[in-house]
């Protein structure tokens, strides 16, 4: 069984949003189409409290895109984004909302960021998604959304580690791209055994 995992297609990651991904909104159309062709549809939603430690604004002397050491390793600092209950945290208004069967929220603990849909950034704390997918006999994932070089990449890499067959929908992802991080992300995913396809090539 196959599932579509739609990563963080939220206003703050789209043009005009607080952590704008260039062309982020262009993923909506192909994703809407895919939602109709797969039996299991899951969305993730970045969902931070306003005092989240991944926000540069909560560190006094730091700027967005600086990095700091957290207990679990290096952390990029971001502009405030996807704050719980704000419009920026809502899904893009054109993204279909009926087909999705599960919404996984992540990044809701102040002290730890969470890029992957499976594990928080300590690579230990689980979100519960793996248990859900196992219970539904899902062994193949089709992954799309934002941002290629952060939440999409970590979701795909963790999925491979957990043993899923993974296909990344090339025309339905966009990246932030800090110092060629999109190219690096594609290389890492390829090495981990992720396959790449266009949305038109995907069927149930
Ligand atoms: C993301 C940075 C911070 C993402 C989320 O969805 O890729 N990136 N929070
Ligand atoms: Zn975030």
What is the distance of C-alpha 195 from the center of its chain?
17
List the CATH code of the domain at 2-48+90-203: 3.40.50.850
Output the pLDDT for position 188.
98
How many Å apart are CA 129 and CA 158, to the nearest integer? 11
If you average pLDDT over every residue of the chain, what do you get?
97
CB-based contact 152:142 (threshold 8 Å) = no
Tokens 């932030």 correspond to what residue? Answer: 176
Output the pLDDT for position 204.
78
For 85-123, the pLDDT digits (tens) are 999 999 999 999 999 999 999 999 999 999 999 999 999
Output the pLDDT for position 184.
98
Q: Is 47 in the pocket of ligand 1 (CB under 6 A)?
A: no
For 32-90, the pLDDT digits (tens) are 999 999 999 999 999 999 999 999 999 989 999 999 999 999 999 999 999 999 999 99
How many Å apart are CA 185 and CA 175, to the nearest integer? 9
Closest ligand to C-alpha of residue 177 is 1
Share of the chain above pLDDT 90, in %: 99
How many Å apart are CA 81 and CA 92, to the nearest integer? 14
Domain ranges of the chain: 2-48+90-203
Output the pLDDT for position 99.
95
For 153-201, the pLDDT digits (tens) are 999 999 999 999 999 999 999 999 999 999 999 999 999 999 999 999 9
Residue 203 banded pLDDT, cuts 50, 70, 90: confident
Q: Catalytic residues, which ones?
A: 8, 106, 151
How many Å apart are CA 117 and CA 104, to the nearest integer? 7
Tokens 């396809």 correspond to what residue? Answer: 197
CA-based torsion, 135, 141, 143, 148: positive or negative = positive
Q: Which atom of ligand 1 is nearest to the CA of 46?
A: 5
Pocket test for ligand 1, best of 6, 12, 81 (most atoms within 8 A of CB): 81
């Amino acid at each position: 069984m196959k599932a579509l995992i739609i990563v963080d297609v939220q206003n703050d990651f789209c043009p005009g949003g607080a952590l704008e991904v260039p062309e982020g909104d262009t993923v909506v159309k192909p994703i809407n189409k895919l939602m109709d062709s797969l039996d299991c549809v899951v969305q993730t939603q970045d969902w931070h409290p306003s005092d989240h430690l991944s926000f540069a604004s909560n560190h006094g002397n730091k700027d967005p895109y600086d990095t700091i050491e957290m207990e679990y390793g290096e952390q990029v600092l971001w502009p405030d984004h996807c704050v719980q209950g704000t419009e920026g945290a809502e899904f893009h208004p054109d993204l279909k909302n009926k087909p999705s069967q599960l919404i996984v929220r992540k990044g809701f603990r102040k002290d730890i960021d969470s890029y992957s849909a499976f594990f928080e950034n300590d690579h230990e704390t689980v979100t519960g998604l793996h248990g859900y997918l196992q219970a539904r006999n899902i062994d193949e994932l089709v992954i799309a959304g934002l941002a290629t070089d952060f939440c999409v990449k970590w979701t795909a890499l963790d999925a491979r580690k957990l043993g899923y067959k993974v296909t990344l929908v090339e025309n339905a992802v966009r990246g932030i791209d800090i110092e060629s991080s999109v190219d690096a992300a594609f290389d890492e995913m390829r090495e981990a055994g992720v396959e790449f396809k266009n949305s038109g090539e995907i069927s149930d």
